[in-house]
Chain A
């Protein structure tokens, strides 16, 4: 049992964590994890079949930036492990996988908000000190920490068994998990505020509210907003460019007739500059 727990935890660490380390190369998808766990536990065909089935079920689920409905990687690893151990097929895998997918995402969010989240300001202070080694160490250290903790779930889940696992997860007060979910939904406000600090200028601040209004009321996809904003930006840039050209023309005119050198024109020059 210890071997099984270790190997499945390692696979979750390498695939689900590895997908985050290696730019969403899709290592953490059920279709990859299923056969891998199957191979490690000596039944690749079961792994392949369960992986394929779960891939279809979780097809719509993509884990980008925490905005998702489930974490299919952990679900697949545990479903395949339990299915092989209990000699059951897809029938036993499905009821295990679906709740685990949802719980897995909650734990992932918890780690993301509670463990990695608070380090955002540490990165800022390291940058202002010019500590490149510190940034690199923290960048990879946080990844290791986050996915090490995450990999402990399949480790203990397999060691203790599925029913005990479910009981343990139910022990966390729902008030706390709910509160962290509420906080997780609100936290992007901090990131937005930091972007606003960079971009905000009073004379163009109305565009912030324009973007907000359109999405809040019309639920327009971001890509459409982007196109709209680009159109506005192009129009503004064209107008600014024309104004600039007009200014330059006015500035240049006296300079072109400068050869005559009359007093009047010099005064005119002063007037426009």
Chain B
């Protein structure tokens, strides 16, 4: 790995440094619909500007990088490194399958979030907090500092080296894959992982529970949620997601309408006592 890092040009080293700093702001403007999209975009902008010389290609890359992104912050630079190296390939090779960039990005973010959240938030943070709390209880005013250092030193190292690893892995391996024509196979494989994860995340993150029950003479005779669960667990979230997908893909409905529509539905359902 050390050899490959030396192969980086001066400009690339500077870009990677920018990536490290900019990626701190990944979740500055989190929206329910796109999570860290704007932070990802902000981190990618120096790369996009360096790689694409034409305005149209630049805009295309900007639209591409503004897609939904949600992962663990410590591991996100690794994904960003890979994404940046693929953008470089895309800018150099006409006919590069640009869709593969988002496919790979999406297939990586879920698994890495799972690993990162459990290792860093679940284990590292709890250990750091445990040590700091015992210091604080004995009156040591350095407790907060100890907590922040114990937690952040490993995290920052992973962020710094992870980004570089992603970038060097990406540029060497992905260009080889492209030359062999294997990128289509890889894209399909990544899309399979991506779609499976999106399905899993739909079931986990899109939540809807019916509160309304059929009541006759003070007796609950039908629990609506139970009935729905008997048909298929998660039926309503699944149908709502598929309907949003249908509106986006076939009807080109703006996501703004979808967002406001869902907020309205939430309030109306609440007013009617359904949810």
A residues lining the B interface (CB < 8 Å): 20-27, 29, 31-32, 34-36, 44-45, 48-49, 51-52, 55-56, 59, 62, 64-67, 112-114, 116-121, 123-124, 127-130, 132, 135-136, 138-140, 142-143, 146, 175-176, 178-201, 204-205, 207-217, 220-223, 225-230, 232-234, 236-237, 240-241, 244
Contacts and interface: CB of A to CB of B under 8 A. Distances in A.
A24 B245 CA distance: 31
Contacts of B247: 193
Given A124-B255, A216-B233, A113 B191 contact: no
Contacts of B114: 221-223, 226
Contacts of B152: 25-26
B259 A123 contact: no
Contact of A240 (B188, B195, B199): B188
Nearest to B194: A199
Interface residues of B, number: 116
Q: Is the interface of B mostly helix, strand, loop or mixed?
A: helix
A136 to B, nearest CB: 6
A55 B129 contact: yes
Given A118-B260, A210-B196, A215-B203, A196 B32 contact: no
Contacts, number: 392
A189 B106 contact: no
A130 B148 CA distance: 38
Given A25-B152, A175-B271, A193-B244, A120 B192 contact: no
B240 to A, nearest CB: 5
A183 B262 contact: yes
B125 A237 contact: no
B235 to A, nearest CB: 9
Given A112-B32, A204-B188, A241-B182, A26 B151 contact: yes
A212 B199 CA distance: 4
B18 interface: no
A26 B234 contact: no
Q: Is the interface of A mostly helix, strand, loop or mixed?
A: helix
19 contacts: A23-B27, A35-B141, A44-B141, A67-B205, A117-B259, A117-B263, A127-B41, A182-B270, A187-B259, A188-B206, A191-B34, A191-B35, A199-B194, A205-B195, A211-B195, A212-B199, A222-B113, A237-B189, A244-B181
A113 B256 contact: no
Most buried by A among B58, B199, B271: B199
A66 B144 contact: no
A51 B136 contact: yes
B255 A190 contact: yes
A114 B264 CA distance: 11
Given A183-B265, A194-B255, A236-B188, A223 B199 contact: no
Given A20-B27, A26-B125, A204-B195, 5 more contacts: A26-B148, A123-B31, A187-B262, A229-B193, A234-B189
Contacts of B91: none
Most buried by B among A119, A136, A222, A234: A222
Contacts of B212: none
